[in-house]
Amino acid sequence: MMRYILASGSPRRKELLAKVVPDFEIIPATGEENATKELPAEIVEELSFQKASEIFHKNLTDTADQLVVIGSDTVVSYNHKILGKPADEDDAARMVSMLSGRDHDVFSGVTCFYNRDGKEESFTFSEQTRVHVAEMTQEEVASYVASGEPLDKAGAYGIQGLFAKYITGIEGDYYNVMGLPVARLYQELKNHNLL
């Protein structure tokens, strides 16, 4: 019997993982995130590894169940700078203004820890999606920030929310921008015989 755990409390990741694995538990990682890498793809891989490792090692039991823990991390990168969650409304306005009329990249890293025949194994990958944003007026930026939507999101926006009307196109996986590269995760789980 497979036991799947998502090491994240993100409602978006919960919704996306349900497209791949119908039945799973949610146990968010609580450890401090420490990135030692500099490139966005390496940072999200490192952080997803830390999350999955923490939850895997806390939930390892001697049952016959096969435990699969999925950790993920997403960052928005513009001009070689990583944009995390905004500190406040002013910070959100600054980030959204920076992205206005320009392209940026979203990176998600995913790590799966699992046990097979009593042995611990894991794999990690990252996915990159380029996002094109329309030119926004100061009024549009202010209105979007006032909605409250950007405050809990990396890069100060959610592609699936009110910001959708400013996205003129993407190159890559749409779901990756939401926080979990669904198709790649499905293929990786399938290739490792974890489905």
Report the alpha-carbon distance of residue 93 to residue 83 in Å, rounded.
12
Q: Is 73 marked active-site?
A: yes
Q: How far apart are CA 79 and CA 88, in angstroms?
A: 22
Tell me how far CA of residue 177 lies from CA of 68, 75, 153, 187, in angstroms: 23, 9, 11, 18
DSSP, collapsed to helix, strand or coil, labels residue 187 as helix
Distance between CA 41 and CA 80 in Å, rounded? 11
Catalytic residue among 73, 88, 152, 173: 73
H/E element holding 109?
strand 103-116
Q: If you ran DSSP here, which 8-state letter would residue 193 be given? A: T
Residues designated catalytic: 73
